[in-house]
């Protein structure tokens, strides 16, 4: 009698164990840590508004990121890259147009999630990480015929120079100003403007003799209006443009890196550059803080 009872208890326990294992195997799998159930990274705590990537930029660097006169819509090469990586991360994206000197302070103050695309320079890397997007550079633009006789940065003393406030060109202009003073030459009249189109208007109207511009912008401007503008001196290839992300937001930084790397590998990145005829600005590899400047 005891033997039968023992066998019955063992049989009952085995059935209970089998049922328990079956229940476990039929339960839905939990998403991996840091991921949503659709496989996309969980960025809910990495954004000011869950599901929405808020970017900031001056919108004045054609053809990279710009708005047409009278239109609030941001467009351009960088805008298309941003829309694509945001889509791959399952995010909607908003493009906020602000003054160039207010972009990085706004990102650091958490008013915006990222700087849409800013120069990846050492000074900026003290507070931001950059997921690099495209090559960058600067060059001088003058009126057609070069009436002021400016052949490069060594000729800037005594001229009226238009730059965008908060840009890397402002720092270069300050350096050249010091050189002029040290050499006993006339000072540069440095005119700071809120965006590129306003600086170009100053050059076109004669308020400025020369504009120090982003290379992509200058190339586009001369291509569009060859009867009005020309380049002066040799272009300087500098730091790449990168998505600027606060250093305390590694989750968002790494997610954007992964999405852009995937775009580079599957050909989408190069297709977008080709759409804007800017293949020369393409990076060989998407990196974090990949600049040497």
pLDDT string in tens for the chain (293-residue length): 443 444 444 444 444 434 444 444 333 333 333 555 567 899 989 999 999 999 999 998 899 999 998 899 999 999 999 999 999 999 999 999 998 899 999 999 999 999 999 999 999 999 999 999 999 999 999 999 999 999 999 999 999 999 999 888 999 999 999 999 999 999 999 999 998 899 999 999 999 999 999 998 998 999 899 999 999 998 887 789 999 999 999 999 999 999 999 999 999 999 999 999 899 899 999 999 999 98
Beta-bridge partner residues of 52: 49, 92
Reduced to 3 states (helix: H, G, I; strand: E, B; else coil), residue 215 is helix
Q: What is the pLDDT, as a whole number, of residue 69?
A: 86
Q: What is the pLDDT, as a whole number, of residue 168?
A: 85
Q: What is the pLDDT, as a whole number, of residue 35?
A: 56
Q: What is the pLDDT, as a whole number, of residue 280?
A: 83
Q: What is the pLDDT, as a whole number, of residue 51?
A: 97
Token reading at 15: 């059935």
Whether residue 63 has a cis bond before it, omega within 30° of 0: yes
Comparing CA positions, the residue from 284, 188, 282 lying closest to residue 241 is 282
Provide the whole-model pTM. Answer: 0.75
Query: Nearest 5°: phi and psi at 85?
Result: -70, -30
H/E stretch holding 54 reads strand 52-57
CB neighbours of 262 closer than 8 A, spacing ≥ 6? 88
Residue 179 · residue 208 · CB < 8 Å: no
């Amino acid at each position: 009698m005891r033997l039968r009872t023992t066998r019955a208890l063992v049989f009952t326990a085995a059935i209970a164990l089998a049922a328990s294992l079956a229940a476990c195997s039929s339960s839905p799998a939990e998403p991996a840590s840091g991921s949503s159930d659709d496989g996309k990274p969980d960025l809910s705590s990495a954004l000011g508004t869950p599901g929405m990537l808020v970017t900031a930029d001056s919108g004045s660097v054609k053809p990279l990121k710009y708005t047409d006169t009278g239109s609030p819509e941001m467009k351009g090469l960088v805008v298309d890259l941003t829309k694509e990586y945001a889509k791959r991360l399952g995010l909607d994206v908003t493009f906020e147009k602000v003054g160039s000197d207010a972009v990085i302070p706004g990102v650091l103050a958490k008013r915006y999630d990222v700087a849409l695309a800013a120069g990846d320079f050492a000074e900026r890397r003290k507070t931001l990480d950059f997921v690099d997007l495209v090559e960058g550079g600067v060059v001088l633009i003058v009126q057609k015929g070069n009436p002021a006789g400016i052949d490069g940065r060594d000729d800037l003393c005594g001229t009226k120079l238009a730059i965008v406030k908060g840009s890397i060109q402002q720092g270069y202009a300050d350096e050249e100003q010091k050189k002029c003073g040290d050499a006993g030459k006339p000072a540069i009249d440095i005119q700071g403007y809120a965006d590129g189109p306003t600086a170009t208007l100053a050059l076109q109207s004669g308020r400025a003799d020369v504009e120090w511009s982003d290379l992509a912008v200058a190339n586009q401007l001369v291509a569009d209006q060859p009867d009005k503008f020309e380049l002066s001196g040799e272009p300087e290839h500098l730091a790449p443009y990168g998505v600027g992300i606060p250093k305390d937001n590694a989750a968002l930084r790494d997610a954007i890196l992964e999405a852009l790397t995937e775009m580079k590998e599957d050909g989408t990145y190069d297709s977008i550059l080709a759409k804007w005829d800017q293949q020369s600005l393409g990076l060989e590899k998407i990196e974090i803080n990949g600049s040497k400047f």
